[in-house]
Structure 1
């Protein structure tokens, strides 16, 4: 089974998590079958040989980024200049209803601060027609521009390994 990881990263933290998830999936024997790609380079049509889609992005203004929040991040020193975030990519991707999809996000841990790009992305993917989209993990950063909190990359790699082992993600509709 091939896995496609679509990620949006402005300060490099979400990309680092995507790379760690990829390492974890590869540890499970996926090897060359795992591809990570930026949201503005991701295909509008998911190849048929992809059996798991993972979508990740940073949480900005309580949700997925928008053009305005990406521009704001650039004024704060964002390393990446993303033309098309996961929000816009989701709006344009052709749905595959039975494809398992898991989302993740990066965000600052602030007590009682609501909002999650992972939650919003899972909801948007289901609305787009990906019936098996589910909210995955949040990975914590110290501040808007990072760095990731200690241990988060190891946790992301372990989460990727676990995703590769989860039978329910790989089972087709007849197996459920």
Structure 2
């Protein structure tokens, strides 16, 4: 099993979260990749795919959705996946992570976590204190779930 963390980032906040998640997935061969560089051959059955985007107009960025569409046309059967976003902490906001997770599931991936949000101060950030630590911990949690999921599938 390998892990691929794919992100789009306007101001570097989502990239920082993706890198922190990769730190939590350290025992897997975790690779962090900008969404524009993602190719369908980068992910295969048995892998963990984590996709993140800032909220842009109440949803994931167009680049993120185009990349997911390319992956979805090939199918993600056998892939375990999770989605996250970066957002301003407001009462009303979009939910890119939920849309990413739904798209991953529709493409055949087995989602192993609820959609995750990480918070920034204002449109450009920076990240709120503690968010990178929280992302690393989430990466560790994803690692544990993915390994357990893989063990159950092979039994």
Contact 1:55 1:102 in 2 (8 A): yes
SS of 1:103's equivalent?
strand
TM-score, normalised with respect to structure 2:
0.88
Pairing partner for 2:53 from 15, 32, 57: 57
Which residue does the alignment assign to 1:88?
66
Deviation of 1:127 (Å): 2.3
CA distance in 1, matches of 2:121, 2:16: 14
CA distance in 2, matches of 1:157, 1:102: 14
Deviations 1:78-108 (A, max 9, x none): xxxxxxx211101111212221110111000
Contact 1:98 1:173 in 2 (8 A): no
State which drifts further: 158-167 or 1-10: 158-167
Q: Which runs of 5+ in 2 are unaligned?
A: none
Does 2:115 align with 1:136? Answer: yes
Relative to structure 1, is the Cα distance of residues 158 and 60 closer, same or farther in structure 2, using a 3 angstrom cutoff? same
Contact 2:14 2:52 in 1 (8 A): yes
Deviations 1:20-67 (A, max 9, x none): 0111111xx23xx1101000001123443762111111011211123x
Which residue does the alignment assign to 2:83?
103
Does 2:45 align with 1:45? Answer: no
Paired residues in the alignment total 151
Q: Which runs of 5+ in 1 are unaligned?
A: 67-84
Deviation of 1:168 (Å): 4.1
